[in-house]
């Protein structure tokens, strides 16, 4: 069985008197795709923010490959091997696609200011290697033809894939996906699904995926973890979870849930 890449233990989060998460616990293994699902406001993105260091949990722990990283800053998590996509891309519109991916290499830069100033042999070799990795990622997600175009000039669907590619350029061991399919049309979602499956099978990354498209979730995820009002509701294989009456009720409401079950 694959090793646990990341886990959260009794994670809690509150802003003043507002409780956002309460005793949430789960883990994801290397090569596994775990989908976090739940109604709007359930706390899914807040979990990613706690894992990635944007929020500091009120309680509980985040463990990265067994190491307690609770409260670590985002740049520290990136250096450890955690990458993330965002709902709205968060790209640099004035920069080219290639330049956006090169930005993601910052956590892998090991050259000195002095070496860069004098263009040392080590610095030149490092730059060649960073460029090689980025070109490989662009080819992987089929964006090579766009690499010299400014991001702001490209369609929204392409920008979403660029955000996806930028996360991969970090060469992570754990990848957080925050609604990567939001705003995409059917063809773009199919392309995204293909990229996700390739990452899973060819790169063996652990992935935690926040998603509202239940058809994609059912088709791609290994396991589901359901949140409702910041609390664990259900978890397990997609078929079992999506047919759970509690999950149906959480998404549709009590009366609609009863109707969906033929009650």
Return the pLDDT at 201.
87
The string of pLDDT tens digits covering residues 101-158 is 988 887 666 554 555 554 666 666 767 788 888 999 999 999 999 999 999 999 988 9
Q: What pLDDT band is residue 257 in, cutting at 50, 70 and 90?
A: very low
201: tokens are 């099978």
Closest CA to 26 of 258, 224, 175, 170: 224
DSSP string, the chain: -PPEEEEEEEEEEEETTEEEEEEEEEEEETT-EEEEE-STTSSHHHHHHHHHTSS--SEEEEEETTEE-TT--HHHHHHHTEEE--TT----TTSBHHHHHHHGGGGG----HHHHHTT-HHHHHHHHHHHHHHHHHHHHTT-GGGTTSBGGGS-HHHHHHHHHHHHHHT--SEEEEESTTTT--HHHHHHHHHHHHHIIIII--EEEEE---HHHHHHH-SEEEEEETTEEEEEE-HHHHHT-HHHHHHHH-HHHHHHHTT-
- Neighbouring-strand partners of residue 6: 28, 64
The string of pLDDT tens digits covering residues 101-116 is 988 887 666 554 555 5
Residue 172: is its pLDDT beyond 70? Answer: yes
Return the pLDDT at 123.
63
Residue 65: is its pLDDT beyond 60? Answer: yes
Q: Helix 156-169 vs helix 186-198: angle between axes, to the nearest 10 degrees?
A: 10
Q: What is the pTM of this model?
A: 0.88
Return the pLDDT at 23.
96
* Mean pLDDT for all residues in the chain: 88
Kindly report the CATH number that applies to the domain delimited by 1-81+172-263: 3.40.50.300
Higher per-residue confidence, 253 vs 229: 229
* Mean pLDDT of the 171-178 span: 94
Residue 86: is its pLDDT beyond 90? Answer: no
Sign of torsion over alpha carbons 178, 182, 186, 191? negative
Strands 33-37, 206-210: pairing kind: parallel
Q: What pLDDT band is residue 16 in, cutting at 50, 70 and 90?
A: confident
In the chain, residues under CATH classification 3.40.50.300 are 1-81+172-263
């Amino acid at each position: 069985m694959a090793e646990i890449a990341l886990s959260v233990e009794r994670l809690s989060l509150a802003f003043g008197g507002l409780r956002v998460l309460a005793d949430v616990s789960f883990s994801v293994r290397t090569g596994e795709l775990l989908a976090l699902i739940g109604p709007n406001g359930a706390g899914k993105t807040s979990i990613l923010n706690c894992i990635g260091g944007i929020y500091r949990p009120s309680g509980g722990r985040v463990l990265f490959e067994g190491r307690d990283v609770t409260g670590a800053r985002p740049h520290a998590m990136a250096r450890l091997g955690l990458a993330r996509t965002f709902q709205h891309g968060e790209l640099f519109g004035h920069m080219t696609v290639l330049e956006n991916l090169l930005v993601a290499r910052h956590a892998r830069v090991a050259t000195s200011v002095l070496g860069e100033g004098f263009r040392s042999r080590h610095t030149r070799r490092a730059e060649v290697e960073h460029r090689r990795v980025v070109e490989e990622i662009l080819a992987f997600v089929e964006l090579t033809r766009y690499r010299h175009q400014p991001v702001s000039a490209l369609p929204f669907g392409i920008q979403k894939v660029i955000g996806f590619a930028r996360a991969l350029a970090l060469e992570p061991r754990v990848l957080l996906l925050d609604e990567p399919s939001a705003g995409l049309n059917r063809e773009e979602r199919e392309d995204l699904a293909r990229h996700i499956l390739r990452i899973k099978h060819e790169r063996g990354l652990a992935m935690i995926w926040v998603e509202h498209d239940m058809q994609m979730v059912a088709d791609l995820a290994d396991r589901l973890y359901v949140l409702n009002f910041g609390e664990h509701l259900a978890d397990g294989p997609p078929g079992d979870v999506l047919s759970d009456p509690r999950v149906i009720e959480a998404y549709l409401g009590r009366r609609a849930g009863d109707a969906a079950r033929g009650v």
